[in-house]
């Protein structure tokens, strides 16, 4: 139910790539704190409609859905314009949409490179470019880019993902400096492995391929680089996004904040 003392009551939050995984968890967390949310992402229309309806029903806020493809700058601009036409301003922008492809660089398909750079990096540029004037007018805003441990360190065979996520760290710093005196903060959350349906789905095949137990796959394959040997959770990422969006985080800007169980401490 809506209540006046929720953390983000009456604010508008746009989360790209929020039809599953981390983005959906972030959107739900903001709705639980009273925000109106704009969902975005790919997927089955009926399933998306039921996710959207459930958010409104569970939290008493407005939830809209934009089918904008993050490959397409015009569709991104239209998504922001429609959100602003309905809600006035996007107060909090969460750039989360992302894809992966794993391959040695000499075999890396050119169209995969282009798509990963477009979705994981350039879409952040396009959303920020479109949403920032509204935030400036209001004198308040929060931009949170969901990057990755791969914005700080590399792994082989992930050239496009690592390049794009390092780019997100640079974009985060640059925009933070441009708006530092205008009540707007710009930060990135850099998770290691997060327990999402996507990660969970890899386990049975890996168990079969390597003749391992579920625990062995988690510990010795997926969490090889993560010293705590624990996945981060979607709720933990969402909690950090809520914190960064609050007024107590107004001094944090231009930062990439790791949530990687010690991965990048090595």
Contacts to ligand NAD by CB under 6 A: 17-23, 40-43, 69-71, 96-99, 119, 146, 148, 191, 193-194, 196, 198-199
User: 39, 85, 93, 94: which is closest to 61 by C-alpha?
Assistant: 39
**Paired residues of 141 in beta bridges:** 184
Active site includes 157? no
**Choice between 18 and 122, CB closer to ligand NAD:** 18
Quick check: 101 and 134 in contact, CB under 8 A?
no
Please give the radius of gyration of the chain, using alpha carbons only, rounded to the nearest integer. Answer: 18
**Choice between 6 and 70, CB closer to ligand NAD:** 70
**Choice between 4 and 201, CB closer to ligand NAD:** 201
Query: Minimum Å distance from CB 137 to ligand NAD?
Result: 27
Active-site residue identified among 65, 157, 161, 243: 161
**Choice between 2 and 224, CB closer to ligand NAD:** 224
Q: 189: burial class by Cβ within 10 Å (0-12, 13-18, 19+)?
A: buried
Q: How far is CA 120 from CA 111, 116, 126, 239, in A?
A: 14, 5, 11, 22
Torsion of CA 210, 211, 214, 219, to 10 degrees: -50
Query: Minimum Å distance from CB 22 to ligand NAD?
Result: 4
**Choice between 1 and 265, CB closer to ligand NAD:** 265
Query: Minimum Å distance from CB 111 to ligand NAD?
Result: 13
66 by DSSP, 3-state: which?
A: strand
Query: Minimum Å distance from CB 80 to ligand NAD?
Result: 14
Query: Minimum Å distance from CB 234 to ligand NAD?
Result: 7
Tallying the residues shown for the chain, one arrives at: 266
Q: 111-118: long-range contacts at Cβ-Cβ below 8 A with a sequence spacing of 24 or more?
A: 112/160, 113/159, 113/160, 115/71, 116/160, 116/161, 116/164, 117/160, 117/163, 117/164, 117/167, 118/70, 118/71
For 129: left if phi > 0, alpha if psi spans -120 to 50, otherwise beta; the answer is: alpha
**Choice between 79 and 175, CB closer to ligand NAD:** 79
Element (H, E) at 238: helix 234-245
Query: Minimum Å distance from CB 194 to ligand NAD?
Result: 4
Q: Which residues are catalytic?
A: 161
């Amino acid at each position: 139910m809506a209540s006046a003392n929720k953390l983000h009551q009456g604010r508008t939050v746009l989360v790209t790539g929020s039809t599953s995984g981390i983005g959906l968890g972030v959107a739900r967390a903001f709705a639980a704190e009273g925000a109106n949310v704009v969902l975005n992402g790919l997927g089955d229309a009926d399933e998306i409609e039921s996710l959207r309806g459930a958010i409104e029903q569970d939290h008493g806020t407005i939830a809209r859905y934009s089918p904008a493809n993050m490959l397409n700058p015009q569709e991104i601009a239209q998504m922001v314009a429609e959100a602003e036409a309905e809600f006035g301003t996007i107060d909090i922008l969460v750039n989360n949409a992302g894809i992966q492809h794993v391959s040695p660089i000499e075999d890396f398909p050119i169209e995969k490179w282009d798509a990963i750079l477009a979705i994981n990096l350039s879409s952040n540029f396009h959303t920020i470019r479109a949403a920032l004037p509204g935030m400036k007018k209001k004198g308040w805003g929060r931009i949170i880019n969901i990057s990755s441990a791969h914005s700080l360190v590399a792994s082989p065979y992930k050239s496009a993902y690592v390049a794009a996520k390092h780019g997100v760290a640079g974009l985060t710093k640059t925009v933070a400096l441009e708006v530092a005196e205008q009540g707007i903060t710009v930060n990135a959350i850099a998770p290691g492995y997060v327990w999402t349906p996507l990660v969970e789905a890899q386990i049975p095949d890996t168990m079969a391929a390597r003749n391992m137990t579920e625990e062995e796959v988690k510990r010795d394959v997926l969490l090889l680089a993560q010293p705590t040997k624990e996945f981060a959770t979607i709720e933990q990422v969402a909690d950090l996004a809520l914190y960064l969006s609050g007024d107590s985080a107004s001094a944090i800007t231009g930062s990439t904040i790791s949530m990687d169980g010690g991965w990048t401490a090595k």
